[in-house]
A and B are shown apart, each in its own frame.
Chain A
């Protein structure tokens, strides 16, 4: 422990007006360690990392890189000091080759002319040293998300980074890709790099991090050796109160089919088939979890079910009624609740108030309106009741939806949709980007819907969420449903293989229903 730490931060404060996003933070990051930063959304992790990568400047306090105090003005300053960021949203040019992306901004040249030969040699050295699989001549648009992430890592290594910051790196990866990524992080640490992992996923921290620093409301709560804490202890430190991981789930008898999808084909606006010959049934009192990697037809399926995209072929039946070509409003009236993928684009009208958003689905009916004239009193009364019941926190229901935090926006949508007592609830990524407390609440609401005898179709890129809630798991790949099984019958790695389009090696044929 005598060697100089890669980065030390002392009493760092970042204030936005009177609000302190970071309040007196001191952490030491060492070479050869994977150091996790654990905290809920809004805890101040990103603010801290933005100061380390030169994007924000601290209000007070010191940052020491290799023992020397530094003043970072830009991402370039940080890069020159060996601090590299692997961005959550990849910063890659889709039309460029992998090699062009890696060298962009730090191109080796001969009198202004790109020297691809030197570049290729340097990159290949990095690839073999860290055992990374990357196709240098492929276009970024044509490679998998997992490989794109490795390209981001190589980009950082190409700039001789000594400290690598991973910002929520696993959100878009399959379980196998996550395992690969964690192995790469370990490898980087073993080669003497300092690795900083920002995440709220406890299993990842348990799998890879040597040290974990827990941040809550801008303050460091504790820095612990990861191996000495259980997942429950870490979660309690992060949230500040005990968290229920296993929400109680009762055994329910399967009811009548509520949603029946037969031979459904959906094409997108470019006439590309996104959903192909899909069959799916969701029963009353059942949660069907649809697992799959982003972009395999989930969005198009949900849009077809909710009337937002026309159906090319096949039929959709909801509660005995053929809704294949019904309008979104008819489908809403037929008892479908929808928690959309993009809450800011489809779920809410951001510049409108909480009251107006709460009434979006029912404003045409009594009591919210009569003969086309809105009854504001009734809307206020309904909103007051629902915000209380669903714990939507806002200083006033007259505030705009855009002023709410992400978690409260999502709770607002859930309050609106659940309060209509829908027979079928379609929820797409209902907890994306939310913190543990909000996730717990939303999961409980989904279980409540099931408890009440409603059918739930849960589409999620988070496999854990599906494993935790679903009675039946369906896996979608390239628009095809590749498997439908009872939840207990598939392991995480089997689901991962199915999501990646592989076949399962087993006797029992996959029942595609």
Chain B
């Protein structure tokens, strides 16, 4: 493999694997900036993945090439509905956020596999998608010398969409009224309440946005990587996204960067054997690399990062 092909493969595989993490980690950013810890991202991804696959298989013939993109939307909406459980539990019922998130993570695969058996004649996995999110070559940009072939040829459009979403998310959080208020309820809900901001409404918004983006993350995973839905479609990507959010210091663009890094770690399993120097390492190293790197990064960075001050707290409005 020549160097250009190698770089193209590494970059495009990294982007394909990072795309689900980008969306989901940005979702985590919104939830946690509103003060709700969201370890349920994994479960939201599962539901998003399941819903998008079902939609894709059912309506693929009707919508043709637009199917996987509509599948993202469907996955996002189902993830959002599923995240309502987390919102009600943590915001209204004041359940511990970790417990509620864990319940979501336990519930989602069970529910999705059960529904799969109902819909697919008792089988635990769906058929293979006929309309996946395939790689694209971006016109104009791909013609740029050197950069074009590496970054914009046969690459993941979903990842680029995720990068754009991360910048939009940063703009929303930093520059808009909505963002300022969302962050205020995650930092000091009593202060926000004292100036007439509805803490409950903004926390709901944070959790629902995270459910939407987490659902999209799951849909990207299912429609571009596994290409069907089974219990092994989402295996830790939600937790990796959570790690990316922490690694990115709760900043949407930082989370995106961390997600790309984790995507690169996952891509090693595929491209590792073509990269000189590390090509002779045993395969098992590449397979466990993303999980190992996640743990190392979390241990190294979680102590330094500053999370929103009221993250994980409950708020009771005075009567």
CB distance from A268 to the nearest CB of B (A): 16
Is A105 touching B187 in the complex (CB atoms < 8 A)? no
Question: Contact size class for B?
Answer: 20 to 34
B contact residues around A274 at 8 Å (CB): none
Chain A residues lying within 8 Å of B178, measured Cβ to Cβ, are 112
Task: Tell me which residues across on chain A come within 8 A of B306, comparing CB atoms.
Answer: 95
Q: B12-20, B55-63, B188-196, B259-267: which one contacts chain A? A: B188-196
Q: A114-B175, A114-B177 are in contact. Are A92 and B188 (CB under 8 A)?
A: yes
Complex Cα gap A96–B190 (Å):
15
Cβ of B181 under 8 Å from chain A: yes
Which of A21-29, A71-79, A244-252, A378-386 lies at the binding interface? A71-79
Report B-chain residues with C-beta under 8 Å of the C-beta of A87.
194
A349 within 8 A of B: no
Contact of B309 among A55, A75, A95, A104 (CB under 8 A): A95
- With contacts A75-B194, A106-B195 known, is A94 near B176, CB below 8 A? no
Q: In the complex, which of the residues A75, A93, A94, A100 has the most CB atoms of chain B within 10 Å of its own CB atom?
A: A93
State the CA gap A105–B196 with chains docked (Å): 6
**Alpha-carbon distance A408/B184, docked complex (angstroms):** 37
Known: A75-B196, A113-B175. A91 touches B318 (CB 8 A): no
Q: Are B318 and A55 in contact (CB under 8 A)?
A: yes
Closest chain A CB from B308 CB (angstroms):
8
User: A105 to B195, alpha carbons, bound, how many Å?
Assistant: 5
Chain A 48-90 near chain B by CB (<8 Å), digits 1 or 0 = 0000000100000000000000000011100100000101000
B187 smallest CB distance to A (angstroms): 4
Tally the A-B contacts, defined by beta carbons under 8 Å: 67
Pick from A74, A91, A109: contact of B177, CB under 8 Å: A109
Chain A's nearest CB lies how many Å from the CB of B274? 45
Contact A93:B194 (CB < 8 A) given known A104-B184, A109-B177, A114-B180: no
Decide if B187 touches A104 in the complex (CB within 8 Å).
no
Report which residue of A100, A112, A155 has the largest number of chain B beta carbons within 10 angstroms of its beta carbon: A112
Contacts of B308 in A (CB 8 A): 95
Does B103 count as interface, using CB distance less than 8 angstroms?
A: no
Q: Please give the distance in Å from A403's CB to the nearest CB on chain B.
A: 21
Contact between chains at A112 and B176 (CB < 8 Å):
yes
Per-position binary interface string of chain B over residues 144-186, scored 1 when its CB falls under 8 Å from any chain A CB and 0 otherwise:
0000000000000000000000000000000111101101100
Q: Which of chain B's residues have a CB closer than 8 A to the CB of A96?
A: 180, 183-184, 187
Question: Is B197 interfacial (CB 8 A cutoff)?
Answer: yes
Distance to closest chain A CB from B311 (angstroms):
11
8 Å CB interface, B300-319 against A: 306, 308-309, 318
Q: How far is the CA of A232 from the CA of B178 in the complex (A)?
A: 53
Most buried by A among B175, B176, B193, B197: B176
Closest CB in chain A relative to B316 CB, distance in Å: 14
Q: Is the interface of B mostly helix, strand, loop or mixed?
A: helix
Complex-state Cα separation, A93 to B33, whole angstroms: 13
SS class, residues of chain A in contact with chain B: loop
Partner of A114 from the list B176, B184, B188 (CB cut-off 8 Å) is B176
- Report the bound CA distance from A55 to B196 in whole Å: 12
Q: Write out the residue numbers on chain B whose beta carbons fall within 8 Å of the beta carbon of A109.
A: 176-177
Cβ–Cβ < 8 Å partners of A107 in chain B: 177, 180
**A interface residues, tally (CB under 8 Å):** 24
State A85–B191 Cα separation when bound (angstroms). Answer: 12
Q: For the complex formed, measure the closest distance between the CB of B183 and the CB atoms of chain A, giving whole angstroms.
A: 8
Question: Within the complex, what minimum Cβ distance (angstroms) separates B121 from chain A?
Answer: 49
Query: Which residues of chain B are near A100, meaning CB under 8 Å?
Result: 180
* B-contact 0/1 string along A372-414, CB 8 Å cutoff: 0000000000000000000000000000000000000000000
Q: From residue A87, how far is it (CB to closest CB) to chain B in Å?
A: 7
Q: Which residues of the partner chain A approach B180 to less than 8 Å between Cβ atoms?
A: 96, 100, 104, 107, 114
Alpha-carbon gap, A94 to B191, bound state (A): 10
How far is A100 from B70 in the complex, measured between Cα atoms in Å? 38
CA distance A79 to B306 in the complex (A): 33
A389 CB to closest chain B CB, in angstroms?
39
- Cβ-closest chain A residue relative to B191: A91
Distance from B318 Cβ to chain A, minimum over Cβ atoms (Å): 6
When distances are taken between beta carbons in the complex, the residues of chain B under 8 Å from A92 are: 188, 191
Q: Determine the chain A residues whose CB is within 8 A of the CB of B184 once the complex forms.
A: 93, 96, 104
B187 touches A95 (CB 8 A): yes
Across-interface contacts of B175 in A (CB, < 8 A):
113-114
Partner of A93 from B176, B187, B318 at Cβ < 8 Å: B187
Residues of B within 8 A of A93 (CB): 183-184, 187-188, 191-192, 309
**How far does the alpha carbon of A100 sit from the alpha carbon of B196 in the complex, in Å?**
15
CA distance A79 to B193 in the complex (A): 13
Q: Which 7 A-B pairs have the closest CB atoms?
A: A105-B195, A76-B196, A91-B191, A91-B194, A93-B187, A93-B188, A107-B177
Residues in A lying within 8 Å of B, measured CB to CB: 55, 74-76, 79, 85, 87, 91-96, 100-101, 104-107, 109, 112-114, 155
A-B contact pairs, 22 of them (CB 8 A): A55-B318, A79-B195, A87-B194, A91-B188, A91-B191, A93-B184, A93-B191, A93-B192, A95-B306, A96-B180, A96-B187, A100-B180, A104-B180, A104-B181, A104-B184, A104-B192, A105-B196, A109-B177, A112-B178, A113-B176, A113-B177, A155-B195
Known pairs A100-B180, A106-B195, A112-B177 / 10 extra A-B pairs, C-beta < 8 Å: A91-B188, A92-B191, A93-B183, A93-B191, A95-B183, A104-B184, A104-B195, A107-B177, A107-B180, A114-B175
